[in-house]
């Protein structure tokens, strides 16, 4: 049993976003909605929130009804007290989708959120029309967490000052304990069985200069996904959807609309606007 209620509106990039809460079993789930059309769900990564998609909403909302959701422990869900494991978040996302009546969707996830989307696509392939994985985790890191701290900070700084403030705020909202707990699960993750079970049309988008999850990981992931296209954004970093929104929005919208994307493509941002 579930119920929902609107909790107000917020302007993001001069657009009104409807903020809502729905009670699903024992979960009080916060999410946001903007635009009209086919449903498109956006799922953020580690230490992020729905705010990471602000530079993409305008383009997406012109064609889709966009749903943004904070994962448990982050953003508006920072006070979530149930200790869900990373490998349980696909079920959590599925329960939310069913509660609000989403039957078949387009799904976009970044980094840790991309794994959650991938797991959902493996579990419920008939409900996913298109899948977009942005700088996704899934392959084993074979590194201790401390070795990822510098690359993560480097990626954040290189993305820009405004992003530093944005991600810093989201980190503080989640808290070091929550971020560390999730990071340990990310490092320990081996999604080999999940990856081999994904057969929906998939687009992998990777920053050429990703400091945190190198593009070589993306190419390995591409080799293991049977129905995937790989798109490398020239000069972009781990947060390519924020760093190069114009190009990102263009290629993702083209893929979602069924346009042909090369199976292994590099986009030079000096050519594509």
pLDDT at 214: 94
Q: What are phi and psi of 99, to 5 degrees?
A: -65, -35
* Mean pLDDT across 165-172: 95
* Mean pLDDT across 206-216: 95
Cβ atoms of 56 and 241 within 8 Å: the answer is yes
* Mean pLDDT across 32-60: 97
Cβ atoms of 138 and 109 within 8 Å: the answer is no
Cα–Cα distance, 151 to 169 (Å, whole number): 19
- Could you tell me the CATH superfamily of domain 2-267? Alpha/Beta hydrolase fold, catalytic domain (3.40.50.1820)
Cβ atoms of 103 and 69 within 8 Å: the answer is no
| Alpha carbon separation from 162 to 13, 17, 56, 95, 149 (Å, rounded) | 14, 21, 15, 34, 20
Residue among 264, 266, 256 at smallest CA distance from 229: 264
List the structure tokens of 10.
């917020």
Mind listing the pLDDT tens digit for each residue in 121-166?
Answer: 999 999 999 999 999 999 988 888 888 899 999 999 999 999 999 9
pTM of the model: 0.91
Q: What are phi and psi of 130, to 5 degrees?
A: -140, 145
Residue 3 clears pLDDT 50, i.e. is over it: no
Mind listing the pLDDT tens digit for each residue in 94-127?
Answer: 999 999 999 999 999 999 999 999 999 999 999 9
Q: Domain spans of the chain?
A: 2-267
């Amino acid at each position: 049993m579930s119920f929902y209620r609107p909790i107000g509106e917020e302007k993001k990039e001069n657009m009104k976003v409807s903020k809502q809460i729905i009670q699903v079993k024992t979960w009080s789930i916060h999410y946001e909605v903007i635009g009209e059309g086919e449903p498109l769900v956006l799922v953020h990564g580690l230490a992020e929130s729905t705010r990471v998609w602000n530079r993409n909403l305008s383009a997406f909302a012109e064609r889709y009804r966009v749903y943004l959701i904070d994962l448990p422990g982050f953003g508006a869900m920072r006070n979530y007290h149930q200790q869900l494991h990373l490998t349980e978040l696909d079920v959590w996302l599925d329960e939310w989708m069913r509660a609000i009546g989403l039957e078949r969707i387009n799904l976009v996830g970044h980094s840790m959120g991309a794994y959650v989307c991938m797991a959902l696509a493996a579990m419920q392939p008939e409900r996913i029309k298109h899948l977009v994985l942005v700088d996704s985790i899934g392959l084993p890191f074979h590194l201790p967490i401390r070795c990822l701290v510098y690359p993560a900070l480097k990626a954040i700084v290189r993305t820009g000052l405004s992003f530093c403030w944005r991600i810093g705020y989201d980190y503080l909202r989640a808290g070091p304990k929550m971020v560390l707990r999730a990071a340990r699960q990310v490092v320990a993750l081996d999604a080999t069985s999940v990856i081999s079970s994904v057969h929906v049309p998939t687009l992998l988008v990777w920053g050429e200069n990703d400091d945190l999850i190198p593009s070589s990981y993306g190419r390995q992931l591409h080799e293991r996904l049977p129905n995937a296209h790989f798109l490398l954004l020239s000069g972009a970093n781990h947060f390519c959807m924020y760093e190069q929104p114009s190009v990102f929005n263009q290629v993702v919208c083209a893929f979602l609309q069924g346009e042909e994307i090369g199976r292994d493509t590099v986009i030079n941002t000096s050519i594509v606007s």
